[in-house]
Structure 1
Amino acid sequence: MPKITVPDHGTFEVEEGKKLVLALEDNGINILHRCGGKAKCTTCRVEVEAGDFGELTDIEKEAFSRKGLQEGFRLSCQVRVNDDATVRPVMTEENSEMDAGPRPAE
């Protein structure tokens, strides 16, 4: 099984093919996903410190262009875990004082 490492939170195994946002949430990371995983709000973005989630999806390219975001980020609602990676969630309930939002679909 692939392993995801989140600095200051540890490392955990993830079922291959699971959406990253759900893997984080299911392992106690209170990442935001205000739009429910529809790639509209970008609150679920993570900085990828190690590992590879493949090429940016078209929906990520559009969202990042709209929001003026830089390279090195991914929308955790749009990528699936297939290999080991280290990610740093940008927005969490703790650092934003916001509710996570509706749980994204599998």
Structure 2
Amino acid sequence: MSAITVHFVSSDGEKTVTAQAKEGDDLLTVAQIHDQPLEGTCEGQMACSTCHVIVEAADFGKLPEASEMEEDMLDLAAGVRRTSRLACQITLTPELDGLTVQIPADSHNMQGI
């Protein structure tokens, strides 16, 4: 299994957290392990949009296309952009090593309260 590096950029762009993950990990789990404010209320069942992230444009094309169900959930997320995805739907592969995602400004982790 390959080590995958992921960069999480804070919503204000001021802070970057670099995380190490394993091939096959999902981005939501990696984010939560590294204390990123992604709630993931539905625990990856694609029944919410609380794990919405904005993928850096240079990395977006490396991702598989979003499913129709994921697109429907993104329609419910605040601050969606062209490169928005649900972190629970991103499985880390060696091609994604160095992936950079930004936490949306409207992201609030209610589980941390």
Same fold (TM over 0.5): yes
Q: Which has the higher helix share?
A: 2
Q: Which amino acid aligns with 1:88?
A: Q
Q: Residue 20 of structure 2 aligns with which residue? A: 13
Displacement over 4 Å in runs of 4+: none
Q: Residue 4 of structure 1 aligns with which residue? A: 6
Equivalent residues, number = 95
Q: Which amino acid aligns with 1:57?
A: S
TM-score using structure 2 length: 0.71
1:53 aligns with 2:55: no
Tell me the percent identity: 24
C-alpha distance in structure 2 between counterparts of 1:70 and 1:29, whole Å: 19
Are 1:37 and 1:77, in contact at CA under 8 Å, matched by a contact in 2? yes
- Which ranges in structure 1 are unaligned for 5 or more consecutive residues? 101-106
Q: Residue 24 of structure 1 aligns with which residue? A: 31
Q: Which amino acid aligns with 1:18?
A: D
TM-score using structure 1 length: 0.75
Query: How is 1:1-106 mapped onto 2 (pairs within 5 angstroms)?
Result: 1-7=3-9, 8-49=15-56, 50-51=58-59, 52-65=62-75, 67=76, 69-82=80-93, 83-84=96-97, 85-90=99-104, 91-93=107-109, 98-99=110-111
Alignment root-mean-square deviation, CA: 1.9
Structure 1 pair 9–28 and aligned structure 2 pair: CA distance change class (3 A):
farther
